[in-house]
Amino acid sequence: MITTTNKLFGFSVARRSTRRILVVVYWLCIAAFTCAFLFDQMRHTLDVFGIIIALQILTNLPSLLGGVRAGGVIKPYRGVKWAPLMDRDEVQTVFSGARPVIGSATAADLALDERETRLRDRVHFVSYTLMRWITLFLFAGYALLALLRPEWTRQAGLFLFILLALVLWSLPQTLILWNEPDMSATDMEEPR
């Protein structure tokens, strides 16, 4: 489920203790982003530039983890089905350097086997159960905000949905990184 081809923040994810530290750092990053975003939005209305930054963070933070898309430390949940990405080590693009011969994962390397598919589904069940409660608390928080500070609700909408999307797109991957045991030497073999 975890690929060692890509690294999270430049660190190898072969050891569980390292992964757990990286998961904590990841959620701290999200908490810091959330606080900064909320603070900025409440002080003065978020402008176009702020929204673009927020959407960039929303797109790029979960892609570090992978899962929802290729390129992270978790294999893509649905494999790589887009034709230009398949067997990409045989394709030389015009405006970039030569591709490395060793260390690049192909579509076959990133396909999930039976155990990994089971793990992916199981983790999503746990995440879903957690997300039900998180959404309920967000809903209650928004309703409470409407009672206490009605003038803030207009601004808080975008924050609410970006936070929801960030947690949705990150929670299963972080649970996998947190729970998977240390990788053996055979797991860490470089892909062709």
* Residue 59 binds to another protein (criterion: CB under 8 A): no
Q: Are the beta carbons of 176 and 123 closer than 8 angstroms?
A: yes
Within 161-190, the residues that bind another protein by CB under 8 A are 161-162, 164-165, 168-169, 172
Q: Which is nearer to another protein, 7 or 122 (by Cβ)?
A: 122
Q: Which is nearer to another protein, 22 or 171 (by Cβ)?
A: 171
Distances in Å between the Cα of 115 and the Cα atoms of 73, 119, 157 are: 17, 6, 39
**66 bridge partner residues:** 74
* Residue 125 binds to another protein (criterion: CB under 8 A): yes
* Residue 56 binds to another protein (criterion: CB under 8 A): no
Give the span between the Cα atoms of 144 and 4, in whole angstroms: 44
Among 127, 174, 175, 176, binds another protein (CB under 8 A): 127
Neighbours of 180 (CB within 10 A): 17
Beta strands in the chain (DSSP E): none
* Residue 74 binds to another protein (criterion: CB under 8 A): no
* Residue 120 binds to another protein (criterion: CB under 8 A): yes
Question: In terms of Cα–Cα distance, which of 58, 107, 63, 71 is closest to 87?
Answer: 107
Within 145-164, the residues that bind another protein by CB under 8 A are 146, 150, 153-154, 156-158, 160-162, 164
Give the span between the Cα atoms of 116 and 133, in whole angstroms: 26
Q: Are the beta carbons of 50 and 58 closer than 8 angstroms?
A: no
* Residue 69 binds to another protein (criterion: CB under 8 A): no
Q: Number of residues in contact with another protein, rule: CB under 8 A?
A: 38
Output DSSP code: residue 136: H
Contact residues: another protein, CB under 8 A: 45-46, 48, 51, 55, 68, 77, 118, 120-122, 124-125, 127-128, 131-132, 135-136, 138-139, 142-143, 146, 150, 153-154, 156-158, 160-162, 164-165, 168-169, 172
